[in-house]
Amino acid sequence: MSAPRLGEIAPDFTAETTEGTLAFHDWKGDSWAVLFSHPADFTPVCTTELGRVATLETEWERRGVKVLAVSVDPLESHEAWKGDIAEVAGSEVGYPIIADQSRAVSELYDMIHPGEGDTSGVRSVFVIDRSHTVRLTLTYPKSVGRNFGEILRAIDALQTTDRGPYSTPADWRKGERIIVAPTISTVEAKERFGDVEELTPYLRYATEPAG
């Protein structure tokens, strides 16, 4: 089964988690969501990753994002491992971790890749918007820890560009200037955004309107 593609509805599922039985679309509601897989409990890279996600709790909340982890280990293992994560990160894990022993969720989202040596998940990430649409996907190999700061930055960019006819340049961060859509003339752009910097006829920078 292929992974959900950008623009597709994220598949719904029901699963057992550290926070009880969870029906994904119902649990998510009209929030954004980050669904991410990790290969195994009690492993070094995964411990740092889940700890980092825990320390970013207020950042997820600020953006209206719920986070949900998944691995093929059983619920008892997840619960025991949470103590190590809290000790290493200095933050308790307050978000759900799916116990995907049947690999139903992992296979639904194509998180188990051939050639990885076992049937645990690679480091997949799905950013899903309020309408359950997949907006961004990332896949890391098992040996490389994820940059959750980049995931937050990408969510900022997605939520910003949803508000108007503009996009974001390379390395953009929230509060920096946006790129005016090529479908808008420079004259119209100046009327809408005020200060517009034209580098080329198709590359114009502007300040995102307040609100």
Q: What share of the chain is helix, strand, coil (3-state, %, to 5)?
A: 30, 25, 45
CA nearest neighbour of 144 among 56, 3, 69, 38? 38
Considering only the top CATH level, what class is 14-160?
Answer: alpha beta
Angle at 14 between CA 13 and CA 18, to 5 degrees: 125
What pLDDT was estimated at residue 69?
96
Concerning whether 46 is annotated as a catalytic residue, the answer is yes
What pLDDT was estimated at residue 210?
72
Low-confidence ranges of the chain (pLDDT < 50): 119
- Residue 122 backbone phi and psi in degrees, to 5: -80, -175
What pLDDT was estimated at residue 211?
60
pLDDT per residue as tens digits for the range 5-17:
999 999 999 999 9
- Residue-by-residue DSSP string for 113-174: -TTSSSSS--EEEEEE-TTSBEEEEEEE-TTS---HHHHHHHHHHHHHHTTSSEE--TT--T
- Residue 86 backbone phi and psi in degrees, to 5: -65, -40
pTM exceeds 0.85 for this model = yes
- CB of 162 closer than 8 Å to CB of 202: no
66: left (phi over 0), alpha (psi -120 to 50) or beta: beta
What pLDDT was estimated at residue 209?
80
Pairwise CA distance, residues 124 & 47, whole Å: 16
> What stretch(es) of the chain map to CATH 3.40.30.10?
14-160
pLDDT per residue as tens digits for the range 152-201:
999 999 999 999 899 999 999 999 999 999 999 999 999 998 889 999 99
Catalytic residue among 15, 35, 46, 134: 46
Pairwise CA distance, residues 13 & 52, whole Å: 26
